[in-house]
Amino acid sequence: MSVRRDRGFAISPISPQNGQGNAQTGRLGRNTLLHKRYIILRVIGQGGMGAVYQARDTKRGEICAVKEMSLSSVPPSEQGKALENFLAEATILSRLSHPNLPAFTDFFSEGERHFLVMEYIDGKTLEELLEENGGPFSERRVLGWARQLCDVLEYLHSQQPPVIFRDLKPGNIMLRRDGRIKLIDFGIARLVRRSSSQDTQLLGTPGFAPPEQYGSAQTDQRSDIYSLAVTLFQLLTGALPEKGFGLPDARTLNPAVSSTVARALEKAASLDPNDRYPSVAVFRRALFRVGTLPFENGQEATTPEELAELCARFPEEGADYLFNGEIESWLEEIGESDLARKVRRLRTTTGDPELGVERLVQLIMGPDAHLRTKSQRSVSATASAASEAERGRPPARPRKAPLMIVRPATINFGQVYPGLSAPMLLTITGNQGSVVQGTIQPVEPWIIVDQTRFDGMSTLVRVRVDSSQLAGSQRYSGTIVITPLGETTGKPAEVRVEVEVMNYTVTGPVTASGTRTASGQVSGSVGAGAGQRLLPPSQRSGPMTPALPAYINPQDEAYKAKYGQPGGWDLLRASPAERRRLYWLQVFAAALLTPSLFYELFSQLPFFSHAPLPPDPSFLPALLAMLPLAPLGALLLNADHRWQLSALVNRFCTGLATTLAALGLLEPAWHSVFQDGAPALHALTLLALAALAGTLGSSQFISSRLLAGATWAMKRFRLPTLALLMVTGVSLGLSLALGTSLSLLTPLAVAAGAAVALALIFRIDRLIGHP
| Cα 107 from Cα 115, distance rounded (Å) | 6
404-407/424-430 β-pairing: antiparallel
**Could you tell me if residue 296 is left (phi over 0), alpha (psi between -120 and 50 degrees) or otherwise beta?**
alpha
Please give the sequence-ordered ranges of beta strands (E in DSSP) within 77-208, or none if there are none: 104-110, 113-119, 123-125, 163-164, 173-176, 181-183, 190-191
How many C-beta atoms surround the C-beta of residue 434 within 10 A?
24
What does DSSP assign to residue 520? Answer: P
| Cα 602 from Cα 687, distance rounded (Å) | 14
| Cα 689 from Cα 626, distance rounded (Å) | 10
| Cα 19 from Cα 36, distance rounded (Å) | 14
| Cα 682 from Cα 337, distance rounded (Å) | 68
Sequential DSSP letters for 17-69: HHHHH---TT-PPTTEEETTTEEEEEEEEE-SSEEEEEEEETTTTEEEEEEEE
| Cα 52 from Cα 72, distance rounded (Å) | 17
Give me the amino acid identity at 255. P
- Do residues 183 and 172 touch, judged by C-beta distance below 8 A? yes
50-57/104-110 β-pairing: unpaired
Chain center to CA of 584: 23
Q: Map residue 643 onto helix, strand or coil.
A: coil
| Cα 272 from Cα 212, distance rounded (Å) | 9
Chain center to CA of 770: 31
Give me the amino acid identity at 372. R
Q: Where are the alpha helices (DSSP H) in 300-417?
A: 304-313, 315-323, 326-333, 337-349, 353-365, 374-390
What does DSSP assign to residue 385? Answer: H
Q: Is 67 annotated as a binding residue?
A: yes
| Cα 90 from Cα 107, distance rounded (Å) | 7
| Cα 632 from Cα 591, distance rounded (Å) | 7
* Closest to 505 (Cα-Cα) out of 476, 472, 534, 533: 472
Q: Where are the alpha helices (DSSP H) in 530-575?
A: 557-563
Provide the CB-side half-sphere exposure for 272 (13 A, CA).
2
- Do residues 472 and 503 touch, judged by C-beta distance below 8 A? yes
Catalytic residue among 106, 122, 151, 167: 167
The helix or strand, by DSSP H or E, that contains position 440, with its residue range, turns out to be strand 436-442
Between helix 353-365 and helix 337-349 the angle, nearest 10°, is 150
The helix or strand, by DSSP H or E, that contains position 748, with its residue range, turns out to be helix 746-769
How wide is the angle at C-alpha 506 spanned by C-alphas 501 and 507, nearest 5°? 155
How many C-beta atoms surround the C-beta of residue 234 within 10 A?
24
First to last CA, the chain: 79
Respond yes or no: is residue 167 known to be catalytic: yes
Q: For residue 451, what are the CA distances in angstroms to 212, 382, 441, 539?
A: 23, 35, 9, 43
* Closest to 118 (Cα-Cα) out of 96, 138, 133: 96
Q: Map residue 337 onto helix, strand or coil.
A: helix
Q: Which residues are annotated as a binding site for ATP?
A: 67
* Catalytic annotation, residues: 167
